[in-house]
């Protein structure tokens, strides 16, 4: 049986010591790779490049795109100055991810955006972020947990009439490792899940495109939590359904 090719957006890992301090490596966390395999897809890591023609062709080779986690998104992209609690940013990664999104949308490739991925997705379409959740009133749930990566730590309430509702039902227990979150939702997107303190936990693009973004890390839970593996399986199945056979 033919399996869909799923690209996972890469980042840069900078060596802090050893023989090559400052050495830049292309990487993604292995949980993304293993989740795609378990869900029936063929995973490929997409390295960060700055050549737009290369990025367009990277997307052409894929049947679906996962936008992975990483550094904070620069507030300059949504018209704000950096505030004191902003974390490290990567202009190179921001530019790369925005072009991945552009060409995936142009080519009608399904997108699953995770953590930073949902944030850059929202910003790419004109939305904005809380640079830190301390800047959001009544955000009183601890969203940056210090626990096992696969441990669910708080509830999200999932909205009906959404792809996420069809997969996970009315609510889900999720892990949580973020200090930024969506503030103003981009035009053409709808909120599909929230935490009990009102923090936006998921969005989806309106219309026929399969573009789903979640703030938690389902890839860290997929090995032990069937519901989170189901999210990857749904995405991989959609990539296969839309796959162009040559």
- Active-site residue among 115, 154, 178, 238? 115
**d(Cα 240, Cα 147) in Å, to the nearest integer?**
35
Considering only CA atoms, which of 99, 130, 88 is closest in space to residue 9?
Answer: 99
- Active-site residue among 143, 154, 178, 217? 217
Q: Are strands 64-67 and 5-9 parallel, antiparallel or unpaired?
A: parallel
Helix, strand, or coil here: 170? coil
CA distances to 43, 47, 114, 189, 191 from 25, in Å: 18, 9, 21, 34, 35
CA distances to 139, 172, 200 from 135, in Å: 8, 25, 14
- Active-site residue among 178, 201, 204, 219? 219
Let me know if 217 is a catalytic residue.
yes
**d(Cα 123, Cα 119) in Å, to the nearest integer?**
6
- Active site amino acids: 115, 217, 219
């Amino acid at each position: 049986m033919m399996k869909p090719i799923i690209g996972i957006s890469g980042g840069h890992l900078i060596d802090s010591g050893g023989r090559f301090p400052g050495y830049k490596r292309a990487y993604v966390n292995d949980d993304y790779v293993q989740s795609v395999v378990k869900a029936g897809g063929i995973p490929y890591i997409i390295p960060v490049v700055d050549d737009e023609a290369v990025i367009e062709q990277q997307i052409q080779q894929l049947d679906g795109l996962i936008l992975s986690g990483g550094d904070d998104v620069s507030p300059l992209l949504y018209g704000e100055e950096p505030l004191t609690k902003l974390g490290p940013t990567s202009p190179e990664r921001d530019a790369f991810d925005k072009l991945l999104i552009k060409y995936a949308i142009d080519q009608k490739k399904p997108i699953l955006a995770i953590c930073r991925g949902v944030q850059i997705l929202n910003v790419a379409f004109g939305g904005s972020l809380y640079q830190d959740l301390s800047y959001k009133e009544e955000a009183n749930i601890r969203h940056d947990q210090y626990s096992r990566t696969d441990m669910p730590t708080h509830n999200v309430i999932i909205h009906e009439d959404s792809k996420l509702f069809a997969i996970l039902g009315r609510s889900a227990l999720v892990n949580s490792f973020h200090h930024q979150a969506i503030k103003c939702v981009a035009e053409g997107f709808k909120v599909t899940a929230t935490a009990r303190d009102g923090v936006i936990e998921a969005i989806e693009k309106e219309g026929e495109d399969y573009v789903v973004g979640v703030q938690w890390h389902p890839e860290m839970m997929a090995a032990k939590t069937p519901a989170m593996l189901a999210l990857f399986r749904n995405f991989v199945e959609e990539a296969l359904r839309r796959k162009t056979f040559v």
